[in-house]
């Protein structure tokens, strides 16, 4: 059992073996609380040890960066990554506050989120990773290609032949638009890649970015699309996008070309999540948000992308 495994891990982080464990979330991985320590038990077969160590290298480099608060990794006796029974475990310092929620006043937080994202990107652009640094790429091939990281959208629940044909046309156009945008250093680099609401903690000091488990190499503006995960059909989206862009532009340039790609990134992220929910039905997120209704929302976005390029999301 998971709790038995983690009980054996606790002494490696200086905690008594009888420290109470409570499950916080089961998504891509399992996240557990043990006193003031947060433990992440990695899903088998997703990240290599080198990839996990690289995530923590970046997180370590982000600590104490002015204007940015990010979760702090905690080393155990084996270093930053603990391996037990073939499973990888990492530790983080507990963070005050609550996860940002869809029902919160998101307009208040999206400009600060834009600022945080810009600071992440500026650090990433100027940082020299250590030797051996390796993280996944998030691009056309790894999201929409034949061997996508998060599964094939064609397996989405409730997807019939008509819907599949629609998404085939939309993703073909999307791929074309993304390839034209390119992956040069002005538009593509090391990003968080999953800055959705559940990965943002809020308290009276502001926002803290957590869960860098999917950080990798992708389009800078994709980090905006990830912040809109699971709320893509919320009527507040145009305003939230404008607020994010406003905050981002205070810290770093956001070109007209970048802004023009926001609708494409939103559809790309939605298709990626549609595939992920189909392969992670056992997760808390999958049970809460997955199923045919989510697939139907994806089809509506795809239809609008083909019709008008998701014009309502342009800024």
Does 102 score more than 80 pLDDT?
Answer: yes
Task: State the number of CA atoms in the 13 A half-sphere of 184 facing the CB.
Answer: 6
In this prediction the pTM is 0.95
Residues linked to residue 23 through DSSP beta bridges, in sequence order: 32
Does 33 score more than 80 pLDDT?
Answer: yes
Does 35 score more than 70 pLDDT?
Answer: yes
**Cα separations (Å) of 52 from 84, 86, 140, 148, 273?**
15, 14, 23, 19, 22
Determine contact, residues 30/44, Cβ cutoff 8 Å: no
CATH number of 2-94: 3.30.200.20
Cα–Cα distance for residue pair 40/2, rounded to 1 Å: 11
pLDDT value of residue 201 = 97
pLDDT value of residue 283 = 66
The ranges assigned to domains in the chain are 2-94, 99-313
More reliable by pLDDT, 74 or 276: 74
pLDDT, tens digit (0-9, with 9 covering 90-100), for 186-245: 999 999 999 999 999 999 999 999 999 999 999 999 999 999 999 999 999 999 999 999
Cα–Cα distance for residue pair 191/219, rounded to 1 Å: 8
Among the ranges given (30-39, 48-57, 290-299), the one the predictor scored with the smallest mean pLDDT: 290-299
| Percentage helix, strand, coil for the chain under 3-state DSSP, each rounded to 5 | 45, 15, 35
Q: For residue 311, count CB atoms less than 10 angstroms from its CB and return exposed for 0-12, middle for 13-18, buried for 19 or more.
A: exposed
HEC profile for 73-94? EECECCECCEEECCEEEEEEEC
Superfamily, domain 99-313: Aminoglycoside phosphotransferase (APH), C-terminal lobe (3.90.1200.10)
pLDDT value of residue 1 = 65
Share of the chain above pLDDT 70, in %: 98
Query: Confidence band (pLDDT; 50, 70, 90) for 28?
Result: confident
Does 292 score more than 70 pLDDT?
Answer: yes
Does 279 score more than 90 pLDDT?
Answer: no
């Amino acid at each position: 059992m998971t709790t038995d495994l983690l009980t054996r891990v606790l002494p490696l982080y200086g905690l008594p073996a009888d420290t109470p464990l409570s499950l916080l979330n089961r998504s891509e991985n399992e996240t557990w609380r043990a006193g003031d320590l947060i433990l992440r038990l990695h899903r088998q077969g997703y990240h290599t040890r080198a990839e996990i160590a690289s995530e923590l290298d970046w997180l370590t480099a982000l600590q104490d960066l002015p204007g940015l608060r990010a979760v702090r990794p905690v080393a155990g006796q084996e270093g930053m990554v603990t391996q037990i029974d073939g499973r990888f475990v990492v530790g983080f310092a507990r963070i005050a506050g609550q996860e940002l929620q869809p029902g919160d006043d998101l307009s208040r937080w999206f400009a600060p989120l834009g600022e945080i994202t810009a600071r992440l990107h500026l650090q990433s652009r100027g940082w020299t990773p250590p030797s051996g640094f390796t993280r996944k790429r998030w691009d056309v091939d790894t999201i929409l290609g034949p061997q996508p990281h998060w599964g094939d959208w064609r397996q989405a629940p409730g997807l019939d032949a008509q819907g599949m044909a629609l998404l085939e046309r939309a993703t073909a156009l999307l791929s074309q638009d993304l390839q034209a945008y390119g992956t040069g250093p002005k538009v593509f680099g090391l990003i968080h890649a999953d800055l959705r609401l559940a990965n943002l903690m809020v308290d009276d000091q502001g926002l803290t970015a957590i869960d860098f488990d999917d950080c990798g190499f992708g389009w800078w503006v994709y980090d905006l699309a990830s912040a809109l995960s699971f709320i893509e059909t919320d009527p507040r989206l145009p305003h939230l996008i404008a607020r994010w862009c406003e905050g981002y532009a205070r810290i770093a340039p956001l070109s007209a070309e970048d802004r023009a790609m926001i609708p494409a990134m939103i559809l790309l992220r939605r298709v990626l999540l549609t595939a992920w929910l189909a392969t992670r039905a056992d997760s808390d997120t999958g049970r809460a948000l997955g199923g045919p209704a989510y697939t139907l929302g994806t089809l509506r976005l795809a239809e609008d992308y083909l019709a008008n390029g998701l014009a309502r999301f342009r800024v």
